[in-house]
Amino acid sequence: MSQSKYLEISTEGRILVITICNPPNNYLLSGFFTELSFCRELILSSNIDAIIFTGKGNVFSKGADIEEIKSNPNELNLRTVLYGNEIFTFFSGLDKPVIAAINGPCLGGGLELALACHIRLCSEKARLGLPELSIGVIPGLGGIQRLIRIVGESKALEMILLGDIISASRALELNLVSRVFPKKEFFPRVLLFVKTILMARREAVTEVLKLVALSRPKSEEKNILAAAEKFAGLVSKRKAY
């Protein structure tokens, strides 16, 4: 296992486990994206067949630090947001399974990271939501577009406009997550799930993921970038509040 400021990196056989390590809330600060980008070579290695994201402690991630946004909106400029989006899109387009192991609260940018994963597995105690409108901004890391694709336009709008924080069971009903596991045996169940996927022929798994990516709306990436621009613009206007 190796640890940097915001990430812990470990392996379970040929599975790479990336743990967001910024407790207690596991906020996604700008340094998180830089460290995540440094993992690309390892992620693309032929020694790695799948990637799991999870959070340190009892939180997946509560996204951006609201106090940081309020006190220093210049930190979240368009360049920074586009950089984060590019990294999330990289994971979304991988031809290796990328799994979000949502072990606790998963909010804002944390949920946007989970949405960029191929599959989301959830602890029974987890809560999920995109509450950005409560501070006068919007999801800026692809959350709007990916949530619409996964749960449909109406439910996505409801979650975003109301800032709903939903339970694990409700997320399962909406197909936002694929499985809900008991808290006490959560990560072992996640590992078993991923190892079961990897029992299939590697080339076949790769082709399925490539075809799934091809089935996504052609406009998705363009719309994600448009949302990033709007997010950065709204953050910069907070200076006038």
Q: How confident is the model at residue 67 (pLDDT cuts 50, 70, 90)?
A: confident
Number of compact structural domains in the chain? 1
Q: How confident is the model at residue 72 (pLDDT cuts 50, 70, 90)?
A: low
pLDDT digits (tens, 9 = 90+) for 135-187: 899 999 999 999 999 999 999 999 999 999 999 999 999 999 999 999 999 99
Cα–Cα dist 24/170, whole Å: 25
123 has a pLDDT exceeding 80: yes
From 35, 41, 86, 132, active-site residue: 132
124 has a pLDDT exceeding 90: yes
Q: How confident is the model at residue 240 (pLDDT cuts 50, 70, 90)?
A: very low
**What is the DSSP pairing of strand 165-167 with strand 106-107?**
unpaired
**Residues, the chain, total?**
241
Cα–Cα dist 44/47, whole Å: 8
1 has a pLDDT exceeding 80: no
- For residue 67, what is the enclosing H or E element? helix 66-71
- For 54, phi then psi, to 5°, come to -150, 180
Comparing 198 with 77, the larger pLDDT belongs to: 198
- Looking at residue 10, which CATH number applies to its domain? 3.90.226.10
User: Can you give the pLDDT at residue 241?
Assistant: 40
Across 26-30, 47-51, 177-181, least confident range: 26-30
From 67, 86, 112, 158, active-site residue: 112
**Three-class SS state of 210:** helix
User: Strand ranges (DSSP E) for 184-223?
Assistant: none
Residue 1 neighbours by CB distance under 10 Å:
8
Would you say 123 and 105 are in contact if contact means Cβ atoms under 8 Å apart?
no
Overall average pLDDT of the 192-209 stretch? 98
Average pLDDT, the chain: 93
Taking the alpha carbons of 97, 22, 24, 28 in that order, is the dihedral positive or negative?
Answer: negative
State which residues form the domain around 172: 2-240
Q: How confident is the model at residue 13 (pLDDT cuts 50, 70, 90)?
A: very high
Residue 164 neighbours by CB distance under 10 Å:
15
pTM of structure: 0.95
* Helix count and strand count (H, E) for the chain: 11, 10
78 has a pLDDT exceeding 90: no
Residue 112: active-site member: yes
User: Can you give the pLDDT at residue 3?
Assistant: 67
